Structure 1
Amino acid sequence: MIIADFVRALQAKDHKAMAACFADECRLFDYCPLRIKNENYYIYGRWAVEMFYHNKFVLGGLSVLDPRIVDERTVNLYINYGGQVNHALATIESYDPVSGLIRELVIRPA
């Protein structure tokens, strides 16, 4: 289940494993940073997902707490954005029909 791979990559802070969950032509939208007065994240393409999470994981500032898989598309979790923790739902909106990889993932405040 790709949602479980996504959660493992987040917990391990593994940007390469994170990117491997996504199709080449993908989108990731994170609407939680606005709650802490930062710009939301709009990420397009697997390479951009890898680079974004490389910076967030390696340089610090992003971690997850207590992720719980709700179903094959959704995980309920707390995201720590550099000391500010937000309750969020990460939902896979669409999959690549051939590879089964994530085409669109949206992270929203819970």
Structure 2
Amino acid sequence: MMIQKLVQALQEKDYKAMASCFAEECRLFDYCPLRIKNENYYIYGRWAVEMFYHNKFILGGLSFLDPRIQDERTINLYISYGGQVNHALATIESWEPESGLIRELVIRPA
């Protein structure tokens, strides 16, 4: 299942493996940074997912803590944005039927 690959990539901070879970023309929306007075993240395209998380994982400031698969579409997790931890749900809103690659992932405060 793609959600298992995504959780493993998050735990390992593997931005290439994370990006490989997404379709070429994908969207990732993270609505949690607003809770710590930062702008939300709106990421479009697999290349942008890879570059964004490369910077966040390698340069620091973003960690996914204790991700747990809730169902085939949802991950229950904690996200640390530079030390500020938030409880969140990451939901696969749509995927490509043939490949199973993620078309849209939305991260919301839990």
TM-score class, shorter: over 0.9
Identity of aligned residues (%): 85
The amino acid that maps onto 1:10 is: L
Root mean square deviation of aligned Cα? 0.5
Name the counterpart of 2:36: 36
In structure 2, runs of 5+ residues without a counterpart are none
Q: State the TM-score, normalizing by the size of structure 1.
A: 0.99
Which residue in 2 is equivalent to 1:72?
A: 72
5 Å-filtered alignment, 1:73-88, equals 73-88=73-88
Counterpart position of 2:7: 7
Give the secondary-structure state (helix, strand or coil) at the position aligned to 1:92. strand
Question: Which amino acid in 1 is paired with 2:29?
Answer: F
In the alignment, residue 37 of structure 1 is paired with which amino acid?
A: K
Partner of 2:54: 54
How far has the Cα of 1:97 moved from its partner?
1.6
Task: Report how far residue 67 of structure 1 moved.
Answer: 1.0
Q: Aligned residue pairs: how many?
A: 110
Instruction: Spell out structure 1 runs of 4+ moving beyond 4 A.
Output: none
The alpha carbon displacement at 1:99 in A equals 1.2
- Distance in 2 (CA, whole Å) between partners of 1:60 and 1:3 is 24
The whole-number CA distance in structure 2 between the counterparts of 1:34 and 1:7 is 23
User: TM-score w.r.t. structure 2 length?
Assistant: 0.99
